[in-house]
C-alpha cells in the first residue's frame, strides 16, 4: 500500500523523465544566454526574429550613431529611385552621409560593443572599393555625385547596401546595470526554473530521508549535491552535471555509452596505473609489517589476534589442512613413503653385524632385503591407517590438538630468538620485494588495451545472459 511519502514507481519514473527533459531545456536556455552576445551576428544574419525577441533580455539596443547612418542611407536610396542625383534632396543626403562617415571614422562607435574586427573589415572594404589608402578620403569620395555618376550609382549603392550596411547593423549599444555590469535580464526567466528545482530538491531529499532509516534530511541533500547547480544562479554551465545524471536516471539518453567512449583512452592508462599503485601499496604495507615485526608479533602472540565472529580462522585453516593431509595427501604419497622407509631400513640393516652374518648363510642371503621391504610396507600402511583412525576418533583428535598446540608453542618459542626472527623477516621481505619488481615488470610489458578488451568481453557476456 502506497503512502504520500512513497510515490508509485510508475509515476515516479514519469516524473524523473519529465524533470530530466525540463532540466535539459533549462541547460539549453542557459547555454544560449551565455553564447548569445558572441553569436549575435550569426543570429542577426540567419534568425533576425530571435535577435528582435532576445535583444531586450540582454539590454541591447541599436547604436544611435550607426542606426542614424543606416536611416540616412535608406533615405538616399528612396531619393535616388525617385529622382536624379543632381536634385537638392540628394545633395543634402550625400552631404549628411559624408559628415557622418567622418564622425564614424573619428569616434569609432564599435568600441562599446567590442567589435573591433568588424570596424576594421568595414574600413578595408571601402578603401579596397575606391582603391584608396585613407578610409576618410574613401568615404568622402564615395558620397559624391561625380563618383556615383561615373561608376554606376545603382551598382555602388548596391555594394554599400550589401557589404557595408550589414556590418553597421551588427553594432549595438548595451545598457549597464546599477552594479556597473552589462545588463542581463535572463534571471527573470531562470528564476522560474530555480524555484521549481529548489522545491523539487527539498521534496525529494525529504522523501529519501523518511524512507531510509538513519538518513537525515541534510545527509540526503549532501547525496544529491549535484542538483545544487540547478538553483545556483551563477556558473550555469555546470548544470550539465545534474542534467547528465537526470537523463541517465530517467533513461532518456544512453549517457553511460557516451561517457564510456569519451573516457575510454584515458581510462585505460588511469586504471592501469591505479592497479599498479594499489598492488604496490598493499605489498609495501605487508613488507613494512614484516620489517617492523608486526607480523611476527601477531603470529607469536595469538591473544592479540582479532578473529571475525566466534571462529578462529587460523585454527580452522590448520585443522582443515591437517584433515586434508591425513585423508587425501598421505594415501597418494604412500608408495613414495614405502620406498623411503625401505631405503632407510636397508641402510640401517646394512650397518648391522648380525645382518652381515646372516647374508653369509647361502639360504638366508635374501632375508634382510625381504625383511626391510615387508617392514617398510607395514610401517607405511600402519602409519596412514593409524593417523586416519586416530584423527577420526574423538580422543585421537584431542591428542592431535594437543600435539598441534604443543608444536605451535614450541615453534613460537624458537621463533622468538632474535637472530632467527631477523633472518626470517629479511628473507620474507626480500621475497615481497622480488614480487613487486616482477609485478611491475610484467605490468609494463602488458598492453592495457588487452585488459580493457577482456573487461568488455565480460560485460558483453553479462549483458547477453541478462
Strand spans (E) along 108-265: 172-174
pLDDT score of 308: 54
In whole angstroms, give the CA distance from residue 122 to residue 71.
18
Beta bridge partners of 62: 172
Closest-CA residue to 33 (of 186, 172, 160, 190)? 186
In whole angstroms, give the CA distance from residue 60 to residue 175.
7
Q: What is the pLDDT of residues 170-179, one digit of tens each?
A: 999 999 888 8
CA dihedral 77, 78, 81, 85 (to 10 degrees): -70
In whole angstroms, give the CA distance from residue 166 to residue 152.
21
What average pLDDT score do residues 320-340 get?
74
CB 118 within 8 A of CB 110: yes
Nine cell digits for residue 290: 614484516
Which of left, alpha, beta for 432 (phi over 0: left; psi -120 to 50: alpha)? Answer: alpha
Query: Does 296 have pLDDT greater than 80?
Result: no
Beta bridge partners of 174: 60
Q: What is the pLDDT of residues 123-152, one digit of tens each?
A: 999 999 999 999 999 999 999 999 998 888
Q: In Å, how far are 26, 51, 101, 305, 320 from 401, measured between CA atoms?
A: 73, 91, 110, 19, 12
pLDDT score of 302: 56
Q: State phi, psi for 389 to the nearest 5 degrees.
A: -65, -40
Q: pLDDT band for 402, please (50, 70, 90 cuts).
A: confident
In whole angstroms, give the CA distance from residue 286 to residue 458.
31
Domain ranges in the chain? 9-36+186-262, 60-174, 294-416
Rg of the chain over Cα atoms, rounded to whole angstroms, equals 47
In whole angstroms, give the CA distance from residue 260 to residue 223.
23
Nine cell digits for residue 349: 640393516
pLDDT score of 294: 63
In whole angstroms, give the CA distance from residue 137 to residue 130.
9
Q: What angle do CA 402, 408, 414 make, to 5 degrees?
A: 135
pTM (2 d.p.): 0.61
| CA dihedral (155, 156, 158, 159) positive or negative | positive
pLDDT score of 34: 94
What average pLDDT score do residues 265-282 get?
74
In whole angstroms, give the CA distance from residue 401 to residue 393.
12
What average pLDDT score do residues 112-128 get?
93
Helix (H) or strand (E) holding 18: helix 9-36
Say which residue, 228 or 338, is predicted with more confidence: 228
pLDDT score of 7: 56
pLDDT score of 287: 76
Q: What is the pLDDT of residues 372-391, one digit of tens each?
A: 566 666 666 777 776 677 66
CB 107 within 8 A of CB 65: yes
Query: Does 397 have pLDDT greater than 50?
Result: yes
pLDDT score of 354: 47
Average pLDDT of the chain, as a whole number: 80
Determine the length of the chain.
Answer: 466
CB 290 within 8 A of CB 425: yes
What average pLDDT score do residues 444-453 get?
67
CA dihedral 322, 326, 327, 332 (to 10 degrees): 120
Amino acid at each position: 500500500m502506497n503512502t504520500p511519502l512513497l510515490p508509485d514507481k510508475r509515476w515516479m519514473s514519469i516524473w524523473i523523465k519529465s524533470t530530466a527533459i525540463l532540466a535539459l531545456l533549462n541547460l539549453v536556455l542557459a547555454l544560449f544566454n551565455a553564447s548569445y552576445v558572441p553569436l549575435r551576428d550569426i543570429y542577426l544574419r540567419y534568425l533576425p526574429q530571435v535577435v528582435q525577441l532576445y535583444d531586450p533580455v540582454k539590454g541591447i539596443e541599436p547604436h544611435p550613431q550607426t542606426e542614424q547612418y543606416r536611416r540616412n542611407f535608406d533615405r538616399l536610396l528612396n531619393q535616388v529611385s525617385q529622382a536624379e542625383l543632381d536634385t537638392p534632396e540628394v545633395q543634402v543626403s550625400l552631404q549628411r552621409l559624408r559628415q557622418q562617415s567622418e564622425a564614424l571614422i573619428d569616434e569609432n562607435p564599435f568600441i562599446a560593443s567590442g567589435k573591433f574586427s568588424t570596424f576594421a573589415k568595414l574600413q578595408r572594404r571601402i578603401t579596397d572599393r575606391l582603391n584608396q589608402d585613407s578610409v576618410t578620403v574613401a568615404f568622402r569620395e564615395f558620397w559624391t555625385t561625380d563618383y556615383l555618376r561615373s561608376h554606376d550609382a545603382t551598382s555602388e549603392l548596391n555594394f554599400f547596401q550589401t557589404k557595408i550596411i550589414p556590418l553597421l547593423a551588427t553594432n549595438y549599444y548595451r545598457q549597464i546595470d546599477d552594479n556597473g555590469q552589462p545588463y542581463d535580464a535572463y534571471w527573470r526567466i531562470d528564476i522560474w526554473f530555480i524555484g521549481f528545482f529548489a522545491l523539487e530538491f527539498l521534496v525529494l531529499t525529504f522523501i529519501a530521508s523518511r524512507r531510509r532509516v538513519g538518513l537525515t534530511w541534510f545527509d540526503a541533500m549532501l547525496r544529491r549535491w549535484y542538483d545544487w547547480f540547478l538553483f545556483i544562479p551563477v556558473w550555469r554551465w555546470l548544470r550539465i552535471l545534474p542534467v547528465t545524471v537526470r537523463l541517465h536516471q530517467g533513461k532518456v539518453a544512453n549517457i553511460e555509452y557516451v561517457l564510456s567512449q569519451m573516457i575510454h583512452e584515458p581510462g585505460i592508462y588511469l586504471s592501469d596505473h591505479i592497479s599498479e599503485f594499489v598492488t604496490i601499496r598493499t605489498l609495501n604495507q605487508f613488507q613494512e609489517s614484516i620489517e617492523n615485526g608486526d607480523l611476527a608479533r601477531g603470529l607469536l602472540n595469538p591473544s592479540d589476534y582479532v578473529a571475525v565472529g566466534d571462529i578462529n580462522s587460523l585454527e580452522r585453516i590448520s585443522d582443515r589442512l591437517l584433515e586434508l593431509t591425513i585423508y587425501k595427501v598421505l594415501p597418494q604419497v604412500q608408495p613414495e613413503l614405502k620406498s623411503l622407509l625401505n631405503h632407510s631400513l636397508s641402510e640401517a640393516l646394512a650397518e648391522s653385524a648380525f645382518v652381515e652374518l646372516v647374508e653369509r648363510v647361502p639360504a638366508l642371503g635374501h632375508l634382510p632385503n625381504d625383511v626391510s621391504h615387508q617392514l617398510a610396507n607395514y610401517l607405511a600402511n600402519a602409519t596412514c591407517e593409524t593417523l586416519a583412525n586416530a584423527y577420526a576418533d574423538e580422543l585421537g583428535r584431542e591428542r592431535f590438538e594437543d600435539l598441534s598446540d604443543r608444536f605451535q608453542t614450541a615453534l613460537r618459542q624458537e621463533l622468538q630468538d632474535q637472530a632467527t626472527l631477523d633472518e626470517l623477516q629479511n628473507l620474507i621481505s626480500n621475497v615481497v620485494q622480488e614480487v613487486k619488481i616482477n609485478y611491475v615488470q610484467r605490468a609494463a610489458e602488458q598492453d592495457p588495451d588487452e585488459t580493457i578488451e577482456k573487461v568488455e568481453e565480460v560485460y558483453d557476456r553479462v549483458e547477453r545472459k541478462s
